[in-house]
Amino acid sequence: MADTTGVVQKKLLLEVVTPDHLLVSREVDYVSAPGSEGDFGVLPGHCHFLTTLRLGELEYRIGEQKEYMSILWGFADVTPQKVTILAEIAEKAEDIDVERAEAAVAKAEARLERGGLPSEVEEAKVSLEKARLRKKIAEKHRNR
């Protein structure tokens, strides 16, 4: 896509930031993120928009190589040259321990089965969703 000067853009700068640190700062060809209204994809030259993020999978591509991250809520700021992800929690696939993620899924499932107050059940559901996401992302990385 061409920018406003007519120059064809080949890459996007992707930055993923958490309250603690800058997790990713790379030039990429494509980004897919979990918007609160649905997943969205971004190529270089995309129109500007700002959206909230839900818990989900962020994927980015550099050439044919795909990289994955878990994102837990936040915001995305998209410009024609850059995608900035401000996430409450974000984790690269290679940093997730698959066995720990599997154990967290089992623990969250057991907690949900026990039931309890509505707030406890809702908290258990969120924990299970987070654990399943982390497991899925870790397995994608392992199976590459």
96-142, what's its fold? 1.20.5
Q: Which one, of 75, 70, 54, lies nearest residue 104 by Cα?
A: 70
CA dihedral angle for residue 135, residue 93, residue 12, residue 46, rounded to 10 degrees: 0
Q: Which position has the higher pLDDT, 115 or 5?
A: 115
Separation between Cα atoms, residue 79 and residue 129, nearest integer Å: 30
Domain ranges of the chain: 12-93, 96-142
12-93, what's its fold? ATP Synthase; domain 1 (2.60.15)
Six-digit token string for 127: 């924990």
- Reported pTM: 0.81
Average pLDDT over residues 94-116: 86
pLDDT tens, position by position, 11-53: 999 999 999 999 999 999 999 999 999 999 999 999 999 999 9
Average pLDDT over residues 87-113: 88
Separation between Cα atoms, residue 58 and residue 29, nearest integer Å: 14
pLDDT tens, position by position, 45-89: 999 999 999 999 999 999 999 999 999 999 999 999 999 999 999
